[in-house]
């Protein structure tokens, strides 16, 4: 399907009004739109049609969208953050030892850095529970911390990572409602999005709209394991990340 044909079809789909979801659960929004457009579902990375990636979202969704996952630079950043700010998980079977301190007995956990994890969310509004916060410089985003640990994402890295995931995106938004326990969608808004904008991206960070989830643990051999340091945003703000925004519906 070429772009002009898509434009004709998406306008026809808008005129239909509400349609029942073709699949229950979160993926119903995309599956239903693909079926209406005649796009065959597949799990192969690449454009959904012509040279465009297609993405659909519920307008009132309260679930954050993962833009991409990228560990901070330099390579040692995650390890140092884990060492300095990691904690023992509640379900960990940590060994303890009994000590006498100032004449009183105390049970002290025998903590190893290999048992720590760091699962926290960062934004630029305020420091989180372990004291980490997102900061903004002229050409990079960085993690503010009181241990002077260098951890950042520069403009070029953000641009390359973002555009690898979101290149020539058609973003379709839908209103939804429930009838007799079934979810229905009305696809009535769409944008053509392209090009990464660091200025727009950093502004979303500054406003606290764009957040970073850090999920660091350990492999069985004790080496750090990044479960996915993810940049996340509410679906309705996704268009604001791009330099080129054209409303097509």
Cα-Cα-Cα-Cα dihedral sign, residues 196, 198, 202, 204 = negative
Residue 145's region, left for phi above 0, alpha for psi from -120 to 50, else beta, is: beta
Count of domains forming the chain: 1
> Does pLDDT of 58 surpass 60?
yes
Q: Which domain holds residue 132?
A: 3-247
> CATH code at 230?
3.30.70.3570
The pTM of the full predicted model, rounded to 2 decimals, is: 0.80
**Helix, coil or strand: residue 204:** helix
The predicted pLDDT at position 228 comes to 84
Structure tokens of 216?
A: 């660091």
Q: Euclidean distance between the first and final Cα of the chain, in Å?
A: 18
How confident is the model over 84-103, as pLDDT tens digits? 999 887 655 444 445 455 55
- DSSP string spanning 59-111? TT--SPEEEEE-PPBSTTHHHHHHHHH-B--TT----EEEEEETTEEEEEE--
């Amino acid at each position: 399907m070429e772009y002009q044909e898509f434009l004709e079809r998406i306008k026809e789909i808008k005129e239909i009004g509400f349609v029942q979801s073709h699949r229950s659960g979160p993926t119903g929004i995309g599956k239903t739109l693909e079926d209406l457009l005649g796009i065959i579902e597949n799990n192969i990375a690449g454009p959904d049609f012509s040279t465009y990636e297609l993405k659909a979202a519920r307008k009132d969704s309260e679930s954050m969208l993962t833009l991409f996952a990228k560990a901070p630079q330099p390579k040692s950043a995650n390890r140092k953050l884990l060492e300095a700010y990691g904690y023992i998980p509640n379900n960990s079977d940590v060994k303890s030892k009994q000590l006498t301190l100032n004449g009183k007995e105390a049970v002290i956990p025998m903590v190893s850095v290999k048992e720590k994890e760091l699962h926290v969310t960062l934004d630029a509004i305020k420091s989180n529970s372990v004291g980490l916060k997102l900061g903004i410089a002229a050409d990079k985003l960085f993690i503010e911390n009181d241990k002077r640990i260098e951890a950042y994402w520069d403009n070029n890295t953000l641009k390359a990572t973002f555009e690898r995931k979101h290149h020539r995106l058609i973003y379709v938004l839908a209103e939804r409602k429930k009838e007799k326990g079934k979810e229905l969608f009305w696809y009535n808004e769409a944008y053509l999005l392209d090009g990464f904008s660091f200025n727009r991206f950093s502004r979303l960070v500054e406003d606290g709209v764009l957040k970073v989830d850090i999920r660091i643990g350990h492999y069985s051999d004790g080496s750090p394991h990044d479960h996915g340091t993810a940049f996340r945003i509410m679906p309705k703000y996704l268009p604001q990340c791009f330099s080129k925004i054209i409303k097509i519906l």
